[in-house]
Chain A
Amino acid sequence: MNRIAETFEKLRQKKEKALVGFVTAGDPNISESLTLIAAMCEAGLDILELGVPFSDPTADGPVIQRSSVRALAKGASLRRVLEMTRDIRKKFADIPIILFSYYNPIHAYGNKAFYKAAQENGADGVLVVDLPPEESDEMTEAWPGNALSLIRLIAPTTPVERMKHIAASASGFIYLVSKTGVTGSDGLDTGDIAFHTKNLRSVTSLPICVGFGISTAAEVAVVASVADGVVIGSAFERLIEENMDKPELASIVAENVRKYKAATKMT
């Protein structure tokens, strides 16, 4: 069993849901980013989504846009993110690491070389925001194996028939976008999430993680009651932005990981 499946199995036994944390790799700089990611893993994060910064993040709201600008200014790139993956894996043997990227950095790196480096450095999966199933063959056909899970996105606009088609080529887990909008948007509709989660369950047995715009522990608890995992991204990046000049940045972020994690426990 791979790390992703093992993680969900362990959580199921403990009656917990997964806390999935997204951070832009290299924000506020590469060494502090590594420090705070370590603190997040130690504080109980279940799955790490490592964001590869991109110059033109069209699916992201202002918070993650700014984090990408900061990371790029400090020299982050896919190459550096893969090195960071290796460093994190050395310290944390079990946490699943998902690389979260736009397609162009991967395309520039080379699909085959990317697969090899991601796998060797300890990544478990990849989510490519702007690579729908219609275009993803060119990437996966270049992969010499299937050791890397391909996390697919399902949106609130995705019809059930299409959900079925997308789920058929997904692995690891499915990322359900909570609302029509960019990352970090306001206005979470938990009724909508329950509806889409139910539809998605009817076409897949993969775990379902819900993300986009979830920022409070109360929201985590509500989403965790219907999904298998909850993704926090912009809320972590906002914390980093607000506290990046403080020496206790890592402990502030870790404190929030504990708070969110507590909300994923169903007992």
Chain B
Amino acid sequence: MNHFESKQYPDAKGHFGPYGGRYVSETLMPALLELESAYRDIGDDPGFQHELQELLYHYVGRPTPLFHAKRLSAHLGGASLYLKREDLAHTGAHKINNTLGQALLARWIGKKKVIAETGAGQHGVATATVAALFGMECRVFMGVEDIARQAPNVQRMKLLGAEVIPVSSGTGTLKDAMNEAMRYWVGAVRDTFYVIGSVAGPHPYPEMVRDFQKVIGEETRSQILEEQGKLPNMIVACVGGGSNSMGLFYAFVNDPVEILGVEAAGKGIHSGKHAATISAGSVGVLHGSKSYVLQDENGQIQEAHSISAGLDYPGVGPEHSFLKDSGRVRYVSIEDGQALEAFQMLTTLEGIIPALESSHAVAQAMIEAPRRSKNDIIVVNLSGRGDKDLGIVGQHLKF
């Protein structure tokens, strides 16, 4: 296993090798420079870090458990599967780790209004939640297609006092929600903080979101060492924009651990209806950073497809593109049907209803586990709970 020096990235201009950067209109540049400078300040501020840690403990419920899925492991016959239970974090997904950090940072800078884009609605709920906690005004941009398929999260955001702004342009999914959030931010940048939910967007977001999420991997690493006295052989997480996966991977990049990122293959990569950006895309610029994107030969961004709203995105965080090119992380993809099977399997064998996003990671682990010995350990990031998906799962499974 190669020793991988990822920790020196991004560079001072926000580049992960050839990826990342700040590809935005001039109106936003001063705000991004201000944000970066504030982000450096809070890194050294014990008061800020103490408050964040206290809230992660008492409000979010960290550390989240690392659960040994014995029945699923026995059923598959092979490696032991462990689940990092981010679904048990407050609001039901890992997204709150990041929104809490960014909301504290917004308060530090002195901005009382926050906006967010959301796909599955988990990031929107997590942003609306911290906005309620800190008494901030909150607007969440969400595609009309996602509003329809993730209705429970729309209701939660409204209950939390956020305004949900439907976005009907394009395919009405995450990409379009992010376009609209960026447009709104251009007009409101003087008093509004944009809480980006993934390790995507212009610098410093990919670095900052990774840092707020890296607690997932740090906890996992010490939990498995404590319980088993050794590192896992493999860690697996789903990749849409890539925040839960970067959060898990980051603590392990210099360890002798195999790392798998699982993209959404939708109806199959060859069908053209997928969201497997790294597996099937090419290098381009979308939403402020350079990374792999799904695009045509003229540089027009193509529509993505996935049963899971959180993975239905034609871009990916720049650090993932960097990890892909370096060979440190292996990126694979799982189709809609395989994710649904994994969803059912985990629900019936372990009594845990996973989010459809996380079900992609579970599905990949189900492929890997039988190929490995009983002494091997695979950790899967269970990034969110599946209550939000009951509607769409019901349609597919006819219940």
Q: Which residues of A contact B (CB under 8 A)?
A: 54-61, 65, 72, 77-79, 102-109, 129-132, 134-135, 152-159, 162, 166, 177, 180-182, 185
Q: Decide if B187 touches A55 in the complex (CB within 8 Å).
A: no
A-B contact pairs, 10 of them (CB 8 A): A55-B301, A61-B183, A102-B285, A107-B283, A107-B284, A132-B22, A132-B24, A152-B26, A157-B26, A180-B190
* Contact assessment for B182 and A58 in the assembled complex, using a CB-CB cutoff below 8 Å: yes
Q: Does B27 contact A (CB under 8 A)?
A: yes
**Complex-state Cα separation, A65 to B183, whole angstroms:** 11
Instruction: Find out whether the CB atom of A134 lies under 8 angstroms from the CB atom of B22.
Output: yes
In the bound complex, CA of A129 to CA of B27 (Å): 10
Cβ of B25 within 8 Å of any chain A Cβ, yes or no, is yes
Could you tell me the distance between the alpha carbons of A166 and B284 in the complex, rounded to whole angstroms? 24
Within 8 A of A (CB), among B101-123: none
Known A130-B285, A132-B22: A157·B300 in contact at CB below 8 Å: no
Contacts beyond the supplied A56-B301, A157-B26: 19 A-B pairs with Cβ under 8 Å: A58-B183, A59-B183, A77-B298, A78-B298, A104-B295, A107-B284, A130-B23, A132-B22, A132-B25, A135-B21, A154-B26, A155-B26, A155-B30, A158-B29, A166-B26, A180-B188, A180-B189, A180-B190, A182-B186
Q: With a CB–CB cut-off of 8 A, which chain A residues contact B189?
A: 157, 180
Q: How far is the CB of B218 from chain A (nearest CB, A)?
A: 31
Q: Are B30 and A157 in contact (CB under 8 A)?
A: yes
Q: Are B299 and A157 in contact (CB under 8 A)?
A: no
**If A109-B299, A131-B23 touch, does A162 touch B186 (CB 8 Å cutoff)?**
no
Tell me how far the C-beta of A113 lies from the nearest C-beta in chain B, rounded to whole angstroms.
12
The residues of B that contact A79 with a CB separation of less than 8 Å are: 298
Minimal beta-carbon separation of A21 from chain B (angstroms):
20
- Which residues of the partner chain A approach B156 to less than 8 Å between Cβ atoms? none
- Tally of contact residues, B, Cβ under 8 A: 37
Complex CA gap A107/B284 in Å reads 7
Task: Tell me the bound Cα distance from A160 to B122 in angstroms.
Answer: 40
Does B288 belong to the interface (CB within 8 Å)?
yes
In the complex, A60→B27 CA distance in Å?
Answer: 12
Q: Is the interface of B mostly helix, strand, loop or mixed?
A: mixed
CA distance A58 to B181 in the complex (A): 9
| Complex CA–CA separation, A132 to B25 (angstroms) | 7
B22 with A135: CB separation less than 8 A: yes
Nearest to A53 among chain B residues (CB) is B300
A162 contacts which chain B residues (CB < 8 A)? 29-30
- State in angstroms the CA–CA spacing of A182 and B188 once bound together: 10
Q: In the bound complex, do residue A56 and residue B21 qualify as a contact, i.e. CB atoms below 8 Å apart?
A: no
Q: CA of A135 to CA of B18 in the docked complex: distance in angstroms?
A: 11
Q: Is B90 an interface residue (CB 8 A)?
A: no
CB–CB A105/B23 < 8 A:
no
Is B31 interfacial (CB 8 A cutoff)?
Answer: yes
Residues of B within 8 A of A54 (CB): 299-300
Give 1 or 0 for each of B276-301: 1 = CB within 8 Å of chain A CB: 00000001111110100101011111
Q: Are A155 and B25 in contact (CB under 8 A)?
A: yes
Closest B residue by C-beta to A212 = B27
Residues of chain B within 8 A (CB-CB) of A77 are 298, 300
Top-8 shortest CB links A-B: A108-B299, A181-B187, A105-B299, A155-B27, A77-B298, A153-B26, A55-B300, A58-B182
Is the CB of B169 closer than 8 A to any CB of chain A?
yes
- Alpha-carbon distance between A93 and B301 when the two chains are bound, in angstroms: 34
| In the bound complex, CA of A51 to CA of B23 (Å) | 18
Contact partners of B284 in chain A: CB under 8 A: 104, 107-108
Is B30's CB under 8 angstroms from A159's CB? yes
Q: Using an 8 Å CB-CB cutoff, how does the interface string of B215-226 with A read, 1 for contact, 0 for none?
A: 000000000000
CB of B179 closer than 8 Å to a CB of A: yes
Kindly state the separation between the CA atoms of A134 and B301 in the bound complex, as whole angstroms. 23
The reply to whether the CB of B13 lies closer than 8 angstroms to some CB of chain A is: yes
Interface flag for B214 (CB, 8 Å):
no
Pairwise interchain contact B285-A107, C-beta atoms closer than 8 A: yes
Check B30–A130 contact: CB distance below 8 A.
no
A106 to B299: give the CA distance in the assembly, Å: 8
Contact B179 A58 (CB under 8 A): yes
- Give the Cβ gap from B171 to chain A, nearest Cβ, in Å: 11
Minimum CB–CB distance for A145 against chain B, Å? 23
Q: Which B1-54 residues sit within 8 Å CB-CB of chain A?
A: 13, 21-31
Judge whether B360 is part of the interface by a CB distance below 8 angstroms.
Answer: no
